[in-house]
Amino acid sequence: MLGPPGAGKGTQAERFAKARDIPRISTGDILRDAVHAKTDIGLRAKAIMDRGELVGDDVMIGIVNERLGRNDAVNGFVLDGFPRTVAQASALDGIMSKRDPLIVVDIVVPEDELVRRLGTRSICRLCGTGASVGSTVGAACAKCGGPLVQRADDNQAIVIERLKVYHRQSEPLVEYYRIRPTFRSIDGAQSPDRVAADLAAAIEAAGRGAVGVRG
């Protein structure tokens, strides 16, 4: 699942995965899992993060490869936050070479709407969990019930810069996938329920396209 910060892809990925009883796999979650499990690649990732550096493609690819090899991902999964680069996408193709074709959905939201959403995002004061798009400051956290507060780092200048970085990284990635019969793009500037319905319909249609790819 592709989409810029504020598109709601995390919320939609979790919702879709839960409805179909498959794992939602986010890069943040699997990094934490690998570090906690003290796998070889998890220890490499921890050393990199402890130095304050970004985890590179090779480590992220290794961690995703490990995670997709677990039993709960045999019947399907939703990837959220990976791939982020064409190099990662190419490696993912290799990982998936003996499995069903990937279905790729790009959630598209106008930039002015993204700036508005990101400028009003909130997190839980107690557990630090990010709230879903549309949550309001003062509401209860869905995870622990703590109060939601506005993110301190979501000022407009930072938001705009983050979106510029995303566009630089993502445009080649979207082009990498766009020509595939299993690629779909949906309008993310709708209500969460409408986006969820469009997402499910797009995945069903792309799945029909995947039959030809498998054949």
Domains of the chain with bracketed CATH: 9-22+75-214 (3.40.50.300)
Catalytic residue from among 46, 84, 116, 180: 84
Q: Provide the pLDDT for residue 21.
A: 94
| Cα→Cα distances 76→20, 24, 191, Å | 9, 9, 26
Catalytic residue from among 24, 44, 67, 151: 151
What is the separation of C-alpha 62 from the centre of its chain, rounded to a whole number of angstroms?
17
Cβ 64 vs Cβ 89: under 8 Å: no
The verdict on whether 164 is a catalytic residue reads no
Q: Provide the pLDDT for residue 192.
A: 92
The verdict on whether 9 is a catalytic residue reads yes
Catalytic residue from among 32, 46, 162, 180: 162
Model pTM? 0.77
What distance in Å separates the CA atoms of residue 141 and residue 135, rounded to the nearest whole number?
9
The verdict on whether 162 is a catalytic residue reads yes
Q: Kindly report each contact of residues 76-79 with a partner whose C-beta sits within 8 Å and lies 24 or more positions away, as own/partner.
A: 76/20, 76/22, 77/17, 77/22, 77/23, 77/24, 77/25, 78/1, 78/13, 78/16, 78/17, 78/22, 78/23, 78/24, 78/25, 79/1, 79/13, 79/25
Q: Which amino acid is at 112?
A: D
Catalytic residue from among 9, 44, 67, 184: 9
Q: Provide the pLDDT for residue 215.
A: 41
Mean pLDDT score across all residues of the chain: 84
Q: What is the pLDDT of residues 103-115, one digit of tens each?
A: 999 999 998 888 8
pLDDT in tens, the chain (215 residues): 998 888 888 889 999 999 999 999 988 777 777 778 888 878 887 887 777 676 788 888 988 998 899 999 999 999 988 898 899 999 999 999 988 889 999 999 998 888 887 776 677 777 766 666 556 666 788 788 888 886 655 566 777 877 887 888 778 899 999 999 999 999 999 999 999 999 999 999 998 866 655 44
Q: Which amino acid is at 210?
A: A
